Chains A and B, each alone.
Chain A
């Protein structure tokens, strides 16, 4: 993706926006970019805990916007990955504290003065002002979608809103895919999601217990060896323009599955 400023969004809550932001941010930093991840979910911040940086928060985004501290004071450096930084959201204010124009100015400053090569913005759920502020500075978007009815519907809505904001580079991250259910015809495949939404996937991340473990301990999965961590790493490589093939996902094996395949059921 050419976009330096990418909003991570989904419409629906709980589909993995924050996890995606943390992991793709960490992965891009591992690949050599200078990355800042920004939490815009004012009042319900979580990117700090998912990344395990909660104890180091002093100032936040609202403090920066209101001129209570310098930008460099609010940005936290991740000690595990070189060139990975977090700008946390305010936990005590509400989202009206964010002005889209001022936020755009902060993002511009991060790129032009602080030298960041990539800015990932973790959008709040919903389609109201919080989302609009998060999307305001974005040149590209990652729409996180789970292969289920409400997430796909909300993703479609969000894609429409992003297009209306002239955001051209929109890609899907299909998260929490369950290969066995796809094989048995009880879950949408990546091809189905592409067909329905008309937006290309850039990442396919299988459901993985490793993600919960990684968030429990506050360490992005891309720093470990889980399947989902690898999928996020591959996604980051594709964002950088590498042509990374999608690994063959675990198939539904066993006698009944073989029978079903034989008779054209699967």
Chain B
């Protein structure tokens, strides 16, 4: 019932897409390069921790464009919690 109500309005999709693409444009980084960065970053982190999933994103925060990385650490014997680094 009312399935059209749950349908995401195309404007919202466009806003999300524009926010992302403008963040990359403003930072002058091609989005594909961020994928490569994520893989490199993960590789380095894995040398020290058993790391699991990661996401690296460029996003707009107020006036600043920030690179944010979120890397979850796989639970070891000590039960390591996920951690988040930004910079």
Stretch at the interface among A168-176, A181-189, A212-220: A181-189
20 further interface pairs, Cβ-Cβ under 8 Å (given A153-B18, A192-B11, A263-B2)? A148-B14, A149-B14, A153-B22, A153-B25, A156-B26, A160-B26, A185-B9, A185-B12, A186-B10, A186-B11, A189-B11, A192-B15, A195-B15, A196-B15, A196-B18, A196-B22, A260-B5, A263-B5, A264-B5, A265-B5
Is A222's CB within 8 Å of the partner chain B? no
Measured between beta carbons, the chain A residues less than 8 angstroms from B9 are: 184-186, 265
Q: Nearest Cβ in chain B — how far from A249, in angstroms?
A: 15
Residue of B with least CB distance to A149: B14
- Candidates B11, B19, B22; contact of A185 at CB < 8 Å: B11
- A residues bordering B, Cβ < 8 Å? 148-149, 152-153, 156-157, 160, 182, 184-189, 192, 195-196, 260, 263-265
Per-residue CB contact flags for chain B residues 42-65 toward chain A (1 = under 8 Å, else 0) read 000000000000000000000000
Residue of B with least CB distance to A153: B21
CA–CA, A186 to B9, complex, Å?
A: 6
Q: Nearest Cβ in chain A — how far from B59, in angstroms?
A: 13
CA–CA, A196 to B25, complex, Å?
A: 13
Q: Nearest Cβ in chain A — how far from B40, in angstroms?
A: 28
CA–CA, A182 to B11, complex, Å?
A: 8
Residue of B with least CB distance to A189: B11
Q: Nearest Cβ in chain A — how far from B20, in angstroms?
A: 11
Measured between beta carbons, the chain A residues less than 8 angstroms from B4 are: 265
Measured between beta carbons, the chain B residues less than 8 angstroms from A148 are: 14
Is B17's CB within 8 Å of the partner chain A? yes
Give 23 CB contacts A-B under 8 Å: A148-B14, A149-B14, A149-B17, A152-B18, A153-B21, A153-B25, A156-B22, A156-B25, A182-B11, A184-B9, A185-B9, A185-B10, A185-B11, A186-B9, A187-B11, A188-B11, A195-B15, A196-B19, A263-B2, A263-B5, A265-B4, A265-B5, A265-B9
Q: Nearest Cβ in chain A — how far from B44, in angstroms?
A: 32
Contact count band on B: 10 to 19
Residue of A with least CB distance to B11: A185
Measured between beta carbons, the chain A residues less than 8 angstroms from B22 are: 153, 156, 196
CA–CA, A263 to B12, complex, Å?
A: 17
Measured between beta carbons, the chain A residues less than 8 angstroms from B26 are: 156, 160
Measured between beta carbons, the chain B residues less than 8 angstroms from A188 are: 11, 14-15
Per-residue CB contact flags for chain B residues 2-36 toward chain A (1 = under 8 Å, else 0) read 10110001111011011101100110000000000
CA–CA, A192 to B26, complex, Å?
A: 18
Measured between beta carbons, the chain B residues less than 8 angstroms from A187 are: 11
CA–CA, A260 to B12, complex, Å?
A: 16
- Ranked 7 nearest A-B pairs via Cβ: A185-B9, A186-B10, A185-B11, A156-B22, A265-B5, A263-B5, A196-B18
Measured between beta carbons, the chain A residues less than 8 angstroms from B12 are: 185
Q: Nearest Cβ in chain B — how far from A111, in angstroms?
A: 34
CA–CA, A211 to B19, complex, Å?
A: 31
Measured between beta carbons, the chain A residues less than 8 angstroms from B2 are: 263
Residue of B with least CB distance to A265: B5
